[in-house]
Amino acid sequence: MNSSLVRLTAKLRRPRPLARAVVELINAANGFHPLSRKGYKTLAIFWFGWPTSELPLVYLAPSILDAVRRGLRGDFRGRRGVTALVLTALSWIFLGAIQRRNMTTPKPVLHAALVEGLGADFTDVLETLPSSPTSSGRPTAWRTSRSRRQYVEKTNTISYGPHGRANLADVWRRRDLPRDGKAPVVLEVPGGAWAIGWRRPQAYPLMSHLADRGWICVAMNYRVSPAHSWPDHIVDVKRALAWIKEHIAEYGGDPDFVAITGGSAGGHLAALAALTPNDPEYQPGFPDADTSVAAAVPVYGRYDWFTAHGEGRREFIAYLERLVVKRQFSRFRDIYTDASPIRRLRADAPPFFILHGEHDSVIPVGEAREFVEEFRQVAKEPVLYAELPGAQHGYDIMPSRRANNSAEAVGQFLSWVYASRMKNGPHA
């Protein structure tokens, strides 16, 4: 019995360089370009490809060092060993290509989006306001993607509504920010398929960048499915906005300038909130509260809940039916239509900056393109769009180069809106 166990253990520990090389190559190739974008398997494609596409050096450096170790051990001898080494080297090429793409493409694409939407002289607007948050002279985002503890004191975790932990929020602010100041404010709505809605650790690169530049960020929780049903999610976002307008001055914020952002489900909620200001349907119990926003930055969001045909639409509608809305799509289609930002477009909408990853395998990039195209036909204010090459869903959570370049661009956009409004009067 003991000898059989020893043989089994030795067999399991036997080096398998070819199998390992195949896994490493698949992982690297999937990070370079998603291997599939159809059906439920896209979720697995996302979870494995997301870290690789954002932080390829985390895989590349250990793989090279380990290959040297295994080579000295003799793992690459013989035909199978040589094949394994070749496949491993191919994975390094993919990872190197990802790193090069991440270093070279985000900033030009983001800058082009700012120029297209705001004009080539958009930075001149910032200079008209000496107190603009972008003029602090502090380091850029890639040096300041800090943790929550850097900006959130214990007294800065607040309750904005009656639903316990689901209605908690963190107020991100620099410790030296005057309590009687008038800092611009951003509400951050987390993603999570309307089933998580937890404020940590999403959008840390963006919030640390903005907080370091003198902004106040409010990161919220909200009620989620399946314990709660639509429209509880958007009601909580509206309630958080109402709390900000009433209380943020106590933290040094300006209630007259509140922007909103969020990713994935949070991108959907942020866009919908910005397009439905003061809508009593989503403000039960507080219909007179001001829930308007000065600007919106939805990131890889869902903007269409009503289209039943197309890539991944059948699975998405089924998910909403079972877990989120809990109403039959064919009988209650008006609920799904009303919850779709693309059906709420309006000429008087605030400025938008919409961001999406080219390789998003959870929410197809085509949905963002369609939203932007239709939005630009009706909006009077700028509607900016940046499609980030090689970016997966959730790209802005990790402190990667792409996430930090994105944070800088969003900061410039919000600062432009802020400076423009202050130039024309706080209520312009």
Q: Is 356 a catalytic residue?
A: no
Question: How much is the pTM?
Answer: 0.91
Q: Are 300 and 360 in contact (CB under 8 A)?
A: yes
Q: Is 36 a catalytic residue?
A: no
CA distances (Å), origin 328, targets 14, 201, 304, 318, 325: 54, 33, 17, 9, 8
Q: For residue 238, what pLDDT band results from cuts at 50, 70 and 90?
A: very high
Model confidence over 40-78: pLDDT tens digits?
Answer: 677 788 888 889 999 999 999 999 998 999 889 888 898
Q: For residue 6, what pLDDT band results from cuts at 50, 70 and 90?
A: very low
Closest CA to 393 of 404, 380, 402: 402
Q: Are 50 and 393 in contact (CB under 8 A)?
A: yes
Catalytic residue among 228, 233, 359, 393: 393
User: What angle do helix axes 78-104 and 17-32 make, rounded to 10 degrees?
Assistant: 20
Given the candidates 3.30.750.24, 3.20.20.70, 3.40.50.1820, 3.90.1150.10, the CATH classification of the domain at 105-304+340-424 is 3.40.50.1820
Ordered strands of the 383-388 beta sheet:
157-159, 168-172, 216-220, 183-189, 253-263, 296-299, 352-357, 383-388
The residue extents of the domains of the chain are: 2-103, 105-304+340-424
428 has a pLDDT exceeding 60:
no
Q: Is 170 a catalytic residue?
A: no
Q: Are 383 and 376 in contact (CB under 8 A)?
A: yes
Q: For residue 214, what pLDDT band results from cuts at 50, 70 and 90?
A: very high
> What local confidence, expressed as pLDDT, does residue 150 receive?
83
Mean pLDDT, range 398-415, rounded to an integer = 95
> What local confidence, expressed as pLDDT, does residue 310 receive?
83
> What local confidence, expressed as pLDDT, does residue 2 receive?
58
Model confidence over 292-343: pLDDT tens digits?
Answer: 999 999 999 999 999 998 878 999 999 999 999 999 999 999 999 999 999 9
Check whether the bond before 130 is cis (ω within 30° of 0): no
Q: For residue 12, what pLDDT band results from cuts at 50, 70 and 90?
A: very low
Proportion of the chain above pLDDT 70, given as a percent: 90
Q: How many residues are listed for the chain in this entry? A: 428
DSSP code string of 83-106: HHHHHHHHHHHHHHHHHHHHHHSH
Q: Are 254 and 173 in contact (CB under 8 A)?
A: no
> What local confidence, expressed as pLDDT, does residue 427 receive?
54
Helix or strand or coil: residue 255? strand
Worst-scoring range by mean pLDDT, 16-20, 193-197, 205-209?
16-20
- β-strand partners of 138: none
> What local confidence, expressed as pLDDT, does residue 4 receive?
56
Mean pLDDT, range 264-273, rounded to an integer = 98
Model confidence over 91-147: pLDDT tens digits?
Answer: 999 999 999 999 999 999 999 999 999 999 998 877 765 454 444 444 444 444 456
Catalytic residue among 170, 232, 360, 396: 360
Catalytic residue among 145, 264, 361, 406: 264
